[in-house]
């Protein structure tokens, strides 16, 4: 920190000088204290509560809950949904970033805005649009029904809602990164006789791999944790269409708190792993991860 006392290595009257670009010692401590309290109250305590509540009746009950078949099926469904949604959005993200970052065309800014659209739509509405689309009142609803195709209150609907919600994650991580890197590497590869796919595979992909991983990480966290959108389309059929977050809700509403928090613990662990990996990526590969850190 350029502004810290330690960087003024001199033994002179540094406190006199520090008034130029830093606060009084007391103000500093006060602000740090305030920030720590806020983080403790709003971030650390809730996390601690999850683990504590899950272990309230000891680890025995914790593990009994986790070995319940319903829990197991919720975990399985969550993995399936994320396993479909994330790769789909990964392919989309790369395609969108390739088109937007490597080419100049009319309507590019508008396209970028459209890609960000799901961020400004309530998760509940994200789920609801699929009910309006595929429900029995809709245009294609009756047709789907007569052909025995089940989308709503089944895995396809959950996947669709999840894809909708996690749609922008990979793309918006890659676009600024690839824009920054420009096109000269690709042009060099092409001029040396590489094919388009070779150029992508051997030149572009190595350049963006850490940014890509970063986007996938965030996309996956959201895909596994999505609640509102999935809740609307899932129908809450126990053992069938409950993802882990939905299972948490059901257990909690049944006052089965320990079980709810036990499942929540798994999701919290997922969040912690995500955070650790994310921090590691930011620390080691900050230049290879796009500047845009918001979501």
From candidates 79, 91, 149, 237, binder to another protein by CB under 8 A: 91
Q: What's the min distance (Å) between Cβ of 268 and another protein? A: 6
Both tokens of residue 259?
Answer: 């079980």
From candidates 73, 153, 154, 252, binder to another protein by CB under 8 A: 252
From candidates 120, 147, 193, 255, binder to another protein by CB under 8 A: 120
From candidates 55, 66, 75, 129, binder to another protein by CB under 8 A: 129
From candidates 39, 79, 149, 237, binder to another protein by CB under 8 A: 39
Q: What's the min distance (Å) between Cβ of 48 and another protein? A: 9
Q: What's the min distance (Å) between Cβ of 273 and another protein? A: 9
Q: Footprint of another protein on residues 146-165 (CB under 8 A)?
A: 160, 163-164
20 interacts with another protein by CB under 8 A: yes
Convert residues 41-70 into a mask of x (bound to another protein by CB under 8 A) and - (unbound): xxxxxxx-xx--x-----------------
DSSP designation for 7: G
The tokens 């999505």 sit on which residue? 226
Q: What's the min distance (Å) between Cβ of 89 and another protein? A: 9
From candidates 60, 69, 110, 137, binder to another protein by CB under 8 A: 137
169's CB contacts (< 8 A; 6+ apart) are 89, 93, 215, 216, 218, 219, 222, 295
Q: What is the 3-state secondary structure (H, E, C) of 12-77?
A: CCHHHHHCCCCCCHHHHHHHHHHHHHHHHHHHHHHHHHHHHHHCCCHHHHHHHHHCCHHHHHHHHH
- Count of residues that bind another protein according to CB under 8 A: 119
DSSP designation for 139: S
Q: What are the contacts of 266-275 at 24+ separation with CB within 8 A?
A: 266/66, 266/75, 267/224, 267/225, 268/47, 268/50, 268/51, 270/221, 270/224, 270/225, 271/221, 271/225, 272/47, 274/217, 274/218, 274/220, 274/221
CB hemisphere CA count around 165 (13 angstroms): 32
How far, in Å, CA of 94 to CA of 182, rounded?
Answer: 15
Q: What's the min distance (Å) between Cβ of 19 and another protein? A: 5
245 interacts with another protein by CB under 8 A: yes
**68 vs 102 by CB, closer to another protein:** 102
Q: Footprint of another protein on residues 178-237 (CB under 8 A)?
A: 183, 186-187, 190, 196, 199-200, 218, 221-222, 224-228, 231-232
87 interacts with another protein by CB under 8 A: no
């Amino acid at each position: 920190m350029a502004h810290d006392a330690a960087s003024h290595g001199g033994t002179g009257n540094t406190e006199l000088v520090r008034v130029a670009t830093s606060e009084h010692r007391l103000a500093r401590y006060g602000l740090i204290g305030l920030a720590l309290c806020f983080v403790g109250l709003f971030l650390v305590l809730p996390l601690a509560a999850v683990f504590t509540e899950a272990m309230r009746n000891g680890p025995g009950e914790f593990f009994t809950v986790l070995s319940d078949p319903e829990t197991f099926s919720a975990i399985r469904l969550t993995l399936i949904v994320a396993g479909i949604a994330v790769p789909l959005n990964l392919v989309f993200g790369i395609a969108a970033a390739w088109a937007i970052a490597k080419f100049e065309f009319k309507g590019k800014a508008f396209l970028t805005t459209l890609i960000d659209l799901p961020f400004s739509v309530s998760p509940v509405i994200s789920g609801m649009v699929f009910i309006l689309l595929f429900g029995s009142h809709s245009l294609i609803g009756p047709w789907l029904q007569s052909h025995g195709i089940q989308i709503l209150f089944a895995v396809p609907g959950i996947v669709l809602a999840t894809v909708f919600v996690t749609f922008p994650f990979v793309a918006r991580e890659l676009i600024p990164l690839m824009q920054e890197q420009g096109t000269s590497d690709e042009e060099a590869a092409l001029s040396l006789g590489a094919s388009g796919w070779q150029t992508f595979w051997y030149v572009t992909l190595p350049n963006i791999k850490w940014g890509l991983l970063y986007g996938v990480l965030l996309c996956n966290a959201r895909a596994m944790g999505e609640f509102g959108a999935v809740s609307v389309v899932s129908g809450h059929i126990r053992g069938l269409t409950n993802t882990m977050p939905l299972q948490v809700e059901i257990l909690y509403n049944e006052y089965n708190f320990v079980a709810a928090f036990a499942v929540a613990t798994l999701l919290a662990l997922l969040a912690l792993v995500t955070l650790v990996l994310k921090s590691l990526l930011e620390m080691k590969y900050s230049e290879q991860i796009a500047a845009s850190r918001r979501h």
